[in-house]
Amino acid sequence: MSEVIGDPTFERPRGGDEPLRLMAVHAHPDDESSKGAATMAKYAAEGVEVLVVTCTGGERGDILNPAMDRPEIKADIGKVRQEEMARAREILGVRQSWLGFVDSGFPEGDPPPPLPEGCFALQPLETASEPLVRAVREFRPHVMLTYDEKGGYPHPDHVKCHEVSMEAFEAAGDPERYPGTGDPWQPLKLYYHLTFNKDRILALHNAMEKAGRESPYGDWIKRFDEESERRAKWEVTTRVPCADYFETRDRALLAHATQIDPNGFWFVVPLDIQREAWPTEDYHLARSLVDTELPEDDLFAGVREKVCL
């Protein structure tokens, strides 16, 4: 496993003192702060061990904040994004590990250009999954978070992140698979992020208009209809109340200064409107090896009974 930042020993207490553990698998630095960040901050504050696994270094990401669009930053963007990630994980109160793969970039054009040789998205499944299986067996999460089969949006690294997450969830508990990567460990639940679901976007849009403010979501709503056939359709099974941690989420986002413009889209809707209109982060329960009743308001529903004896 690549270096884990925070507490690399992962020494486990025994018996009823065992903590709950949550692993969030993301494609690039900044993804953890735009998807599920308030959830992670909430659980970390409650004593859950939280590990973000970042598949790539984000080396091919564009600089999206005009204030950071400087030659010296472009020249060493990989190092800069590592430093940004360090600030974000400290704000969220989580640990973090790099899997060490190279960003694939987002191919644009018609037809799109081939992906760069050696990038994450072109790795064979077992090659790309092996370090994540190792991470699962070392950290021993009870719950995993990842993207759906379309990646949430069709970035090749997001799609690959889904593939390796599913492979690791299924394989980490099998002693016959991925030998030499540690003792088997079977996570109990796996969720897909549904942060940008249509109901939430509509609720925020309507709340902004009710408050007499211009909504940033008009074009989004149109795209939901235009792209309906291309979007994965998943039911929201789990809504985690985490409005108290929206401000923490936003500070973590701002730590990714090359990617997030403080005057941009992410911060148009005031926090008080967000908390009132949609105080949760939302997920689809894709795999479960424990009994649980839907809908849920806790990622560890059905898990607490097994772990916290």
Q: CATH number of the domain that 171 lies in?
A: 3.40.50.10320
- 272 appears as a binding residue in the annotation: no
State the pTM of this model: 0.93
Check whether 5 has a pLDDT greater than 50: no
- 162 appears as a binding residue in the annotation: no
For range 284-304, the mean pLDDT: 97
Q: What would the two tokens of residue 80 be? A: 């800069």
Residue 84 covered by a domain: yes
For range 195-200, the mean pLDDT: 93
Distance between CA atoms of residues 186 and 50, nearest Å: 17
The alpha carbons of the chain give a radius of gyration, in whole angstroms, of: 19
Residue 248: C-alpha distances to residues 39, 245, 266 (Å)? 10, 5, 13
- The separation between CA 84 and the C-alpha centre of its own chain, rounded to angstroms, equals 16
Model pLDDT, residue 1: 39
- The separation between CA 241 and the C-alpha centre of its own chain, rounded to angstroms, equals 17
- 28 appears as a binding residue in the annotation: yes
Residue 273 covered by a domain: no
Residue 249 covered by a domain: no
Average pLDDT, whole number, for the chain? 92
What is the number of domains present in the chain?
1
Residue 205 covered by a domain: no
- The separation between CA 97 and the C-alpha centre of its own chain, rounded to angstroms, equals 13
Residue 184 covered by a domain: yes
3-state secondary structure of 108: coil
Domain interval for residue 284:
19-195+280-307
Per residue in 137-194, pLDDT tens? 999 999 999 999 998 888 999 999 999 999 999 999 999 999 999 999 999 999 999 9
Lookup result for tokens 């308001």: 297
Residue 219 covered by a domain: no
Q: Comparing 228 with 60, which gets the higher pLDDT? A: 60
Under 8 Å between Cβ of 240 and 39: yes
Q: Which helix (H) or strand (E) holds 249?
A: helix 246-255
Residue 226 covered by a domain: no
Per residue in 49-68, pLDDT tens? 999 999 999 999 889 999 99
